[in-house]
Amino acid sequence: MERTLVTWLGFSLSERLSFVIKSGIFLSLCGATLFVALASSYPVVHDTLHNVRHALAVVPCH
Amino acid sequence: MSLRALFAAFCFSSVLLVGLPAGAEELNIYLKTSPALGLLRPFADPVNISLLVTHADGRPVEQGRVDIVLDAPKSGTFLSTDFPAVEGTRLLELVLPLRQGRAGWRYLFPIRGDYRLSVSVVAADGKAMAKTFIIPIRENRTKWLWLGLFCAGLFLFGFAAGRIFTVIPSSVTASWALVFLGAVSSVSGHDRPSTVENMERPSTALEIAAATVGKPTRLRYRAAEGSTATSLLSLSITHLEKHQTVFAIDNVPVEKDYQLDFHFPDGAEYRVNSIAQIPGQSPLRTEQLVAVTGVEPPMTAQIPALMFFLAVIALGLVAGRLSKSLAAR
């Protein structure tokens, strides 16, 4: 995928910058996933993961 | 004898004559819990709490009343408890009679932290005494274990991603986080979305105000009109989902009415039972179901936990990259 992007954009990134960008995207996805799983009030998610939230001791629930 | 020495002798005599009797008038208040204080855990088992009030010479105060106020631990740490709406709020406010110097009730502490139990005693002869106890509740060790395992999983997840990102990106997706979440704990349902509805309210002597998490709810028992006899009231509140008694008092003498403020800690269904024993009559039993309105935790309580978990993943990312770099050398 990275090679495709490099070909498409016409320039290459340094390995360090590439790592930072990929890590940023990765952490954003993880943050969104964690938010949905542990903080959202959507009933299906909340009811399914209610015990998980309480089991972790530091995740607030109602 | 100089005037100064005479004054000093007078002061000393005053202390002996006035101070010692005043000390003898003092009341002592003792707190006892079962299980013992160091063994209490949140939402584990209801705790038997008893107060013993004695005179200075150790004799129990025969009659009197105890005003009890229980306040929840204040929030203040970076990470909140699992019931942030309860933190720093008033949990219980009631008055109990002293019988042979004792008063007791059962209570289920909802969160970890240091609770403040303020006790104010007024004896039948008018003597008064107030004291505040700190009740420390430690978090359940199983929860810390789960949290540690969850963090270890997040760290390993970040570690793997860090190694992959350092060389060739892979098609790892964030769906792994959901897979891990599913494995952390057994999946089970929760109480349905709560409503303000108070179910099955028969024409009883027990009145319960609309219950909402975050503030105490008033429970009021009224003796039958025209009744002059003192009835003995037993009252219990049960968490229906957890099948646990969260509060109970036994055989409290009530003349006309009795009221207490109880803070329902979560948006679930509770059953409130009361039994009034009136001399010469059959016991009057009432039962009410209370659906407590839940309150969504504020973002200020949710964000720190999410930031903490993201920091663990980020730490794993850095560790993974370092391990890959060091291995390549």
Q: How close does chain B come to A15, measured CA to CA in Å?
A: 7
In terms of CATH architecture, what is B198-291? Sandwich (2.60)
Tell me, yes or no, if A16 comes closer than 8 A to chain B by beta carbon.
no
User: Is B170's pLDDT higher than 80?
Assistant: no
At residue B10, the pLDDT reads: 53
| pTM, rounded to two decimals | 0.78
Q: Give the number of C-alpha atoms closer than 13 A to the C-alpha of residue B261, restricted to the C-beta side.
A: 15
Indicate whether A4 belongs to any domain.
Answer: no
User: Is B199's pLDDT higher than 70?
Assistant: no
Average pLDDT, chain B: 83
Tell me, yes or no, if A4 comes closer than 8 A to chain B by beta carbon.
no
Indicate whether A18 belongs to any domain.
Answer: no
Q: How close does chain A come to B73, measured CA to CA in Å?
A: 15
Using CA coordinates, name the residue in chain B closest to A1: B169
Mean pLDDT confidence for B291-319: 92
B78-107: per-residue pLDDT in tens? 888 989 999 999 999 999 999 889 999 999
Structure token pair of residue B107: 């209570």
Cα–Cα distance list, B172 to A4, B49, B167 (Å): 17, 53, 14
What's the fold here for domain B24-139? Immunoglobulin-like (2.60.40)
Q: Could you give the number of structural domains in chain A?
A: 1
Contact list, B141 vs chain A (CB under 8 Å): none
DSSP state of B177: H
Range with lowest mean pLDDT among A34-48, B35-49, B160-174, B245-259: B160-174
From the list A2, A18, A37, the residue facing B181 with the nearest CB is A37
Domain boundaries, chain B: 24-139, 142-185+300-328, 198-291
Q: Which of B49, B46, B48, B43 is nearest to B111 (CA)?
A: B43
CA distance B40 to B266: 19
Contact list, B189 vs chain A (CB under 8 Å): 47-48, 50
Domain ranges, residue A55: 32-62
- Which ipTM was obtained for this model? 0.89
From the list A18, A23, A58, the residue facing B147 with the nearest CB is A58
CA distance B107 to B117: 12
CA distance B241 to B244: 8
Q: Are B193 and A47 in contact (CB under 8 A)?
A: no
Using CA coordinates, name the residue in chain A closest to B163: A19
Cα–Cα distance list, B127 to B30, B56, B123 (Å): 16, 12, 5
CA distance B72 to A1: 53
Instruction: Please answer yes or no on whether A55 and B143 come within 8 Å at the CB atom.
Output: yes
